[in-house]
Each structure stands twice: as C-alpha cells, then as structure tokens.
Amino acid sequence: ICKVCQAPDYDALLESLLILNEGIRKAFVVLLGPIHVSSSYHQEANLLKSRCACFKEKSNEFMNELNREWIKAFVRLQAYFEQPHIKRRKFGLLALPMLTITSRYPYSLFIPNRPLLNRKGHTYATKWLWNRLMTGPAYNLSLAVLSQDSYYCPSM
C-alpha cells in the first residue's frame, strides 16, 4: 500500500516488463497487486481500509472500482505477454491482481496501527503465493487454513 493509493499505471508497468523481457535472458516475473486481508467471519471487508490513510474516508463503491481497475490492468498485461508475437519461452509473466489472506485472527497479521504486514502476515502471504504457483489457479484458498496449511510440494 502506498501513500497515494490508486489504480496501477498500466503504461509504466508495461514499459518496465518490456525492458525485463528484452534485457534478461531467462525470467519469470510474478506481478502481485494489492493484498486483501479479511476475517474468516467477514470476508468481504478489507481490513487494510481502516489502516490506510488514503482509504479511510473512501466509500466501498470507490474501493470496488479501484479493485476492478487493478484486475483490468493485470488482465491486460497478462494477455499482452501471451500474444504469439510477444511470448517467448524464456520469459514468463504471472499477473495476480489480488492476494487474499483470510484469517480467524486477521489483526495479528499487521504491524500495529500500520497498513503493513508483520512477519506472520508475510509468512501467510508467501505460503499462499508458493501454493498458488505450484498448483495453479486450482489452489482454493477458501478451503485452506493458512496457519495449518503446509507448503505444497509436487510429487516427483
């Protein structure tokens, strides 16, 4: 979360990714959008909203529109790099517009009074991302309890 929370700058992201695509022989880029932290009892409410100065006064409709803008930009970026004339075997992009962490004790994932994840929050986010990378879109977070879910290890 930044000091001026807003929709992503598609052109700046595209330019950066094109530089990486042309300048690095082998790369797999994971582009991760905003994090949505919610209670397992109230999953629609993003607990970051009350912790971020940019969002405190914003309406839920504004937040929903902002989420749609992030999704739209990331879908466009993913589609751009999957075009046959752009795509190459040694450069991959996985654009994930949102990372949702649902917890029974969501406030335990934050640095006090800040919109930043603490070590435990980062551990949960890392575990989610790893399991998502290993299993693909089939990784069902709604069935996972991140405090008990193990890191996925593919069978050989």
In tens digits, what is the pLDDT along the chain, a chain of 156 residues?
455 678 899 999 999 999 999 999 899 999 988 877 777 777 777 777 777 777 778 888 888 898 899 999 999 999 999 988 888 888 999 998 888 777 788 888 888 888 888 999 888 888 888 888 888 877 665 555 655 667 677 775
Q: What is the number of structural domains in the chain?
A: 1
Give which of 115, 1, 96, 99 is closest to 47, Cα–Cα.
115
Q: What is the pLDDT of residue 3?
A: 54
Does 91 reside within a domain? yes
Does 115 reside within a domain? yes
Q: What is the pLDDT of residue 61?
A: 87
- Which tokens go with 32? 């991760």
Question: What's CA 3's distance to the chain center, in Å?
Answer: 18
Does 98 reside within a domain? yes
- Which tokens go with 6? 């807003």
Q: What is the pLDDT of residue 71?
A: 93
Does 54 reside within a domain? yes
Does 148 reside within a domain? no
Q: What is the pLDDT of residue 56?
A: 77
Does 149 reside within a domain? no
Q: What is the pLDDT of residue 1?
A: 42
Dist CA 96 CA 30 (whole Å): 7
Q: What are phi and psi of 150, to 5 degrees?
A: -95, 165
Q: What is the pLDDT of residue 144?
A: 57
Dist CA 95 CA 151 (whole Å): 21
Q: Which CA distances in Å does 138 have to 101, 131, 132?
A: 16, 10, 8
Q: DSSP character for 132? A: H
Token look-up 């300048």 returns 23
Does 123 reside within a domain? yes
Q: How many Cβ atoms are within 10 Å of 113's Cβ, its own excluded?
A: 7
Q: Domain range spanning residue 31?
A: 10-143
Does 120 reside within a domain? yes
